[in-house]
Amino acid sequence: MSSSAVSSSRTAFTALANSDWFTPWADQPFIWHIYPQDDDAHHAKLEAFLDWMQAPESLRKAHRVWNGMESGELTSLNSNALTDWTACAQTARKRLLQQTDLVSQLMSVTTCAAL
């Protein structure tokens, strides 16, 4: 996993560049540097991810600017933004933890297919 973290006394911020990054960083604010694709399919993937996260507009804009999808300056990393981003990440993590684990899901599909 490739990442870079900026820490303060209150919270941490992480910039992530990998496709399997979410789990270890899920409860702290982050920006995902999505791998670009020639046909710009990564734009739709990033937007879908931000929708799933129910990301606040400041986090959406930061992701778009960071990934070159939108011009402008990065969102200011003030305490309000970090608080909002942290809450968003923690809520998304809780939703993930409520899901049945992948192995159990696969076993369910395999068991049903065998019947």
- Can you tell me the mean pLDDT for 30-59? 92
- Can you tell me the mean pLDDT for 78-106? 89
What confidence tens digit (pLDDT) does each residue in 18-30 have? 555 555 556 788 8
What confidence tens digit (pLDDT) does each residue in 85-97 have? 999 989 988 888 8
Measured CA to CA, the distance from residue 11 to residue 106 in angstroms comes to: 36
Q: How many domains does the chain have?
A: 1
Of 111, 107, 98, 90, which is closest to residue 25 (Cα–Cα)? 90
pLDDT of residue 112: 65
Structure tokens given for 37: 């694709």
3-state secondary structure string, 32-68? ECCCCCCCCHHHHHHHHHHHHHCCCHHHHHHHHHHCC
Please, what is the average pLDDT of the chain?
80
Domain extent at residue 17: 3-114
Sign of CA dihedral 12, 13, 19, 22: positive
Note the pTM of the prediction, 2 decimals: 0.74
Q: Give percent of the chain with pLDDT exceeding 70.
A: 76
- Can you tell me the mean pLDDT for 60-86? 89
Give 3's contacts (C-beta < 8 A, 6+ positions apart): 14, 15, 16, 17, 18, 21, 25
